[in-house]
Amino acid sequence: MIDEAMVKDLVASIDGRPLDVPLLDALKQRFKGIPLTACFEDDVLTGKPVYRTGAFSIYLVGGGDHCLTLTNDYDIATGVVIAEVVE
């Protein structure tokens, strides 16, 4: 289930660590059943993050109406995007 507590736990698991393959693999093991995707912040053209730091942003993916979209509605969230900020 994706809720604010899960996002806070995800953020705490990432904070201060490089967003690399070993971390993503560990996150996918820790949050089994929740699709996690990583990309760069400038790849996200729409949507508003539910959490943002100087290093990364967290977006929710919703699957309503048979199309995937970014959402801020935890009730329809089906996945999470971790977008790394690269300067």
pLDDT in tens, 7-43: 999 999 998 899 999 999 999 999 999 999 999 999 9
Q: What pTM was computed for the model?
A: 0.92
CA atoms within 13 A on the CB side of 54: 2
pLDDT at 68: 85
Look up residue 17 and give its DSSP letter: S
* Domains in the chain, number: 1
Instruction: Quote the DSSP letter at residue 36.
Output: E
Domain containing 63 equals 4-84
More confident residue, 86 or 22: 22
Can you read off the two tokens belonging to residue 19? 């967003």
- Which tens digit of pLDDT belongs to each residue from 34-68? 999 999 999 999 999 999 999 999 999 998 777 88
Q: Are the C-beta atoms of 16 and 54 separated by less than 8 Å?
A: no
